Structure 1
Amino acid sequence: MSKSSPALECRLEAAKAVVHDAARMAMAMRPPPGGPQAQLKSAQDWLTETDGAVETFIASRMQAMFPDDGFQGEEGGMTRTGSLRWVVDPIDGTSNYARGRSRWCVSLGLLDGDEPIGGVIEAPALGEVYTALRGVGAFLNGKPIHASPIADPTRAMIEMGWSGRVPKPVFMEKMDAIMELGAMPRSGGCGALALADVASGRLDGYVEIVINLWDVAAALPLLAEAGACVSPFLRDGGLTGGATILAANPHIAPTLSRAVGIALT
């Protein structure tokens, strides 16, 4: 399809409505503050009842409206194929969600073949909705967003995501490189929102050594439309498994790329 079209715009509007309803469901099911009310899939990788319920809800609604579109979920895998494919993370930031915290979201991205073209990320506990469509722009609560203008690393705020699949020395090496730049390190436990923060200028960069397609599918169009630089996540294996991602504002991206050893091309 072209840059944008009535069909794609229709899909984005439908996705916004479906994600909003799913987010309301997740809010209603959110555990109270306290110890995690969830099951462990692996170390620090949590699964709640809400994950499955939200994914099933979104899958059913999108199939009813767009039966020819493909669908892939974090929990259910690839359930339908199509040239256009929806990719959902029903609860990104489950470790936060399971403890009654607010930094989590429902994330739904749209791919045209292997190209991310649209996305919706709603963080209902924060009252925020990010949307993007290729060639149309990136928005937070309906207002355009752009990557940060910060170029000086000593003024920068950089987040790095953690994964149990990454050896501790590798994680510490990258984090040390960020701190050696003089940047302020952060780790918020929600990759989709961290990438959205880069798109909106709240962060100057985000690094994660192993992250999955469902975590980033909705954020990739946001980053592109907001003018951020992103490493070739999909080319480097992100379509079929975990891969590395670096996203940053264009002014600091080359410096951050060299520091952490993650190429932008």
Structure 2
Amino acid sequence: MATFDPELRLVLSLAREAGAIALAYQTGGADAMQAQDKPDDEGPVTRADTEINARLVAALRAAFPGDAVVAEESADDAAAAADVSRCWYVDPIDGTAEYARGETCWAIQIGLCIGGEPVLGVVYEAGAARLSWGVCTPDRREAVVVDAGGAATPLRASHRSLAELRLVSSLSHASPKTLEVMQALRIPPERNLRLGSVGVKVGTIARGEADLYVHPRSGTKLWDTCAPWALLRAVGGKITDLWGHPLVYDPRRLGHDNGLVASHGAHHDEILAAIRPLVDDWFRSPHG
């Protein structure tokens, strides 16, 4: 029986250590973080991103030498992981823009894929003192959130109806397409929670605070979604691309080029059907 207890123990410890490093830099302010823009409009990077990236990659490779590790700040050789069954996807800080501004909606994310399926994920929102983890395999389906006091609570997605849906959307990358989604699903502004980080947003769905996240364009990467997807799978939620196709975890193609839809699962197909005319208009593509 594959319970992944050794992997989970290590990754929880690594995430907490990484969170402490990130908070130390953030407390030091702009001079300590040294944020700068990456080439090709790939967003900001800070000293914390690069240091945590190096530490996590080294620790995972030392603990599991047969595994591949693909991390955001060292992804140039990611294609070499294509033929390895077990692959870790690491985002040292998801939500760097918010992190660099001193906000709390960012996360350290460590996820494990086996045969292209996310089976384990840790999302540590260090700024909010919230650590979530999930394991989703045929032998084990469990997801937990640990608060600042160390109290652990099982994660549970909501069962809200289509008429009650709560949306979570981007804080730093607001899009007119989000307003179109809200109109199509009749979601009023007061039921739109705006946050940074894919992991933070998906975490709100896994906890039942929100029900839906739509990323209406390309831009997210495998390390953005692997760990959160394991959490959401464990509580019965769903993530697909905008047309309803499963997300593909292949390190030879790092981007989710067809956007994504994450939901509490109960009405995923109806949500996809409701936004399909919008999606076809956005992409003008024959996907189907």
| TM-score bracket for the superposition, by shorter chain length | 0.7 to 0.9
Q: Does the CA-based 8 Å contact 1:156-1:204 persist in structure 2? A: yes
Going from structure 1 to structure 2, the CA distance change for 1:238 and 1:207 (only over 3 Å counts) comes to farther
Greater CA drift, 117-126 or 135-144: 135-144
Asked if the contact 1:228–1:247 (Cα under 8 Å) also holds between the matched residues in 2, the reply is yes
1:249 correspondence with 2:258:
no
Structure 1 234/221 Cα, relative in aligned 2: closer, same or farther at 3 Å? farther
2:12 aligned to which of 6, 16, 31: 16
| Identical pairs, percent | 23
TM-score normalised by L of structure 2 = 0.79
CA deviation after TM superposition for structure 1 residue 245, in Å: 1.1
**Distance in 2 (alpha carbons) for counterparts of 1:174 and 1:238:** 25
Q: How does 1:19-30 map to 2 (within 5 A)?
A: 19-30=15-26
Number of the residue aligned with 2:51 = 53
Whether the 8 Å CA contact 2:239–2:247 is kept in 1: the answer is no
Does 2:116 match 1:118?
no
Q: Which runs of 5+ in 2 are unaligned?
A: 147-151, 281-287
TM-score, length of structure 1 as denominator length: 0.85
How far has the Cα of 1:215 moved from its partner?
Answer: 0.4
Query: Which string of whole-angstrom CA distances, capped at 9 and with x for unpartnered residues, describes residues 194-229 of structure 1?
Result: 111111111110111221111011011111111112
Gaps of 5+ in 1: none
Q: Is the alpha carbon distance of 1:139 and 1:256 closer, same or farther for their aligned partners in structure 2, counting shifts above 3 Å?
A: same
* C-alpha displacement of 1:122: 0.5
Q: Quick one: structure 1 residues 33 and 201, their matched pair in 2 at CA, closer, same or farther if it must change by over 3 Å? A: farther
Q: Contact 1:91/1:104 (CA < 8 Å) preserved in 2?
A: yes
Equivalent residue runs for 1:58-137 within 5 Å: 58-77=56-75, 78=77, 81=81, 82-134=84-136, 135-137=140-142
1:227 aligned to 2:236? yes
Which of 140, 144, 155 aligns to 2:154? It is 144
Q: Deviation at 1:252?
A: 3.5
Contact kept in structure 2, 1:132 and 1:138, CA below 8 Å:
yes
Does structure 2 conserve the Cα–Cα contact (< 8 Å) formed by 1:161 and 1:207? no
Could you report, residue by residue, the CA deviation over 1:154-205 in whole angstroms, capped at 9, with x for unpaired residues? x3221234887xxx9xx42343232342312233121111111111111110
Residue 257 of structure 1 aligns with an amino acid whose one-letter code is L
